[in-house]
């Protein structure tokens, strides 16, 4: 191929490629911060080398990091326990005989996925806040079923459950749609054959649908396991308050608070790097385990 012919295509790609490098790869130099005693305003070259000091600090007895790690793992684990629910939802939706009804259910339940966590927080606040929440209006002020207004959003006994419920509320409908797509991909002849053999719909679900969507389920599960420490920033930042801090602070929000609020850049970066490494290790381990056990892999 003569040079002239690929020249225009290089002009199309190289500038955007540089943009990608600038915003995704160049910032990686910042990882150096975790290994030096950096303070804002000074240049990195002037900062003295600190070795693994900040990584050791993460696991000091004085550090909150262990608490944060526990919260992250507990919340991720609760989410992992719920992974079968969207599958069940998808099977239920595909078993509805009236088309319009299943369409409405799909449309309505997947909507929260497309709103931000701030909207979700505002919705939860509208229902659960102690001052003017709909739940307290109904149960306390109107029906007098409870003796004192409930304050779910600021009660650390319920935080983990509330967060899990919020995740479920926001994502279950959407995740179900992914499974519905997988169910639609199953060969319809299998169902017809089963019908002829007199299999009930329950048996069909168990023996055709479930095996049919297993690969999708395993892929999503593996991604979730790989992301156990990447539980996300948005949800836990918006639901955070002083009273639930000990239950809701996760690695991402911790990194933000230590770094951006308290300006302890080196320590915060070390926490971030620790998270990335564990995530990658988990992802590879889960992938390897899956390939050995089931033959399905994601990479």
Partner 1 sequence: MQHIRLKPGERAFDIANVLVLGLFGLLTLYPFYYIFIYSISDPMEALRGVYLLPRGFSLDNYRQLFQEQNIVWAFFISTSRTVLGTVATLIGCTIFSYGISKPFLPFRKLMYGTVIVTMYISPGIIPLYLTMREYGLYNNFLVYILPSVVLAFYVILIKTYMEDIPREMEESAMVDGSTAFQTLWKIILPLCTPVLATVAIFNAVNQWNTWVDNLYLAPTPGLQTLQLLLYAYVNQQNAAMSMVTSASMSQHAIVLTPTSVQMTITFVATLPILLVYPFMQRYFLKGIMLGAVKG
Residues from 31 through 50 that contact partner 1 (CB under 8 A)? 31, 33
Q: How many other β-carbons are positioned within 10 Å of the β-carbon of residue 213? A: 22
Residue 36 DSSP SS3: strand
The reply to whether 23 sits near partner 1 by the rule CB under 8 A is yes
Applying CB under 8 A, among 59, 77, 111, 284 the residue interacting with partner 1 is 111
Name the segment binding partner 1 (CB under 8 A); options: 28-36, 50-58, 186-194, 287-295.
28-36
The reply to whether 73 sits near partner 1 by the rule CB under 8 A is no
Nearest residue to 297 via CA among 214, 240, 218: 218
CB neighbour list of residue 73: distance below 8 Å, 6 or more residues apart: 228, 229
Residue numbers 241-260 binding partner 1 by CB under 8 A: 241, 252, 255-256, 259-260
CA separation (Å) from 20 to 7, 25, 26, 199? 20, 8, 9, 54
Nearest residue to 191 via CA among 206, 208, 176: 208
The reply to whether 157 sits near partner 1 by the rule CB under 8 A is no
Name the segment binding partner 1 (CB under 8 A); options: 46-54, 58-66, 67-75, 115-123.
115-123
Nearest residue to 117 via CA among 172, 71, 163, 68: 163
The reply to whether 59 sits near partner 1 by the rule CB under 8 A is no
Applying CB under 8 A, among 39, 192, 203, 276 the residue interacting with partner 1 is 276
Between 61 and 145, whose beta carbon lies closer to partner 1? 145
The reply to whether 24 sits near partner 1 by the rule CB under 8 A is yes
Between 12 and 193, whose beta carbon lies closer to partner 1? 12
Nearest residue to 121 via CA among 255, 275, 248: 248
The reply to whether 197 sits near partner 1 by the rule CB under 8 A is no
CB neighbour list of residue 144: distance below 8 Å, 6 or more residues apart: none
Query: How many residues sit close enough to partner 1 to count as binding (CB under 8 A)?
Result: 88
CB of 209 to partner 1, least distance (A): 14
Residue 77 DSSP SS3: helix
The reply to whether 55 sits near partner 1 by the rule CB under 8 A is no
Residue numbers 1-20 binding partner 1 by CB under 8 A: 1, 5-6, 8-14, 16-17, 19-20
The reply to whether 145 sits near partner 1 by the rule CB under 8 A is no
Nearest residue to 208 via CA among 46, 41, 94: 94
């Amino acid at each position: 191929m003569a040079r002239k012919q690929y020249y225009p295509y290089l002009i199309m790609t190289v500038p955007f490629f540089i943009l990608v490098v600038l915003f995704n790869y160049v910032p990686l130099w910042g990882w150096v911060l975790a290994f030096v005693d950096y303070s804002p305003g000074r240049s990195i070259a002037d900062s003295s080398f600190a070795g693994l000091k900040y990584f050791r600090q993460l696991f000091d007895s004085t550090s909150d990091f262990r608490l944060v790690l526990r919260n992250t793992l507990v919340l991720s684990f609760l989410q992992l326990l719920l992974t079968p629910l969207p599958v069940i939802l998808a099977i239920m939706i595909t078993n509805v005989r009236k088309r319009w009804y299943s369409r409405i259910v799909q449309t309505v339940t997947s909507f929260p996925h497309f709103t931000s966590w701030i909207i979700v927080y505002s919705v939860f606040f509208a229902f659960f806040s102690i001052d003017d929440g709909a739940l307290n209006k109904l149960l306390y002020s109107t029906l007098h079923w409870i003796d004192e207004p409930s304050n779910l959003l600021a009660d650390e006994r319920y935080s983990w459950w509330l967060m899990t419920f919020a995740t479920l509320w926001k994502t279950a409908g959407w995740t179900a749609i992914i499974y519905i797509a997988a169910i639609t991909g199953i060969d319809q002849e299998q169902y017809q054959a089963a019908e002829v053999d007199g299999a009930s719909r329950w048996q069909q679900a168990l023996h055709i649908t479930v095996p049919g969507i297993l690969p999708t389920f395993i892929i999503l599960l593996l991604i979730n396991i790989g992301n156990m420490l990447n539980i996300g920033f948005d949800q836990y930042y918006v639901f955070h308050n002083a009273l639930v801090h000990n239950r809701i602070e996760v690695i991402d929000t911790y990194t933000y608070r230590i770094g951006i609020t308290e300006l302890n850049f080196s320590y915060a970066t070390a926490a971030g790097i620790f998270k990335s490494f564990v995530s990658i290790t988990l992802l590879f381990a889960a992938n390897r385990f899956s390939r050995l056990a089931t033959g399905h892999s994601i990479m």
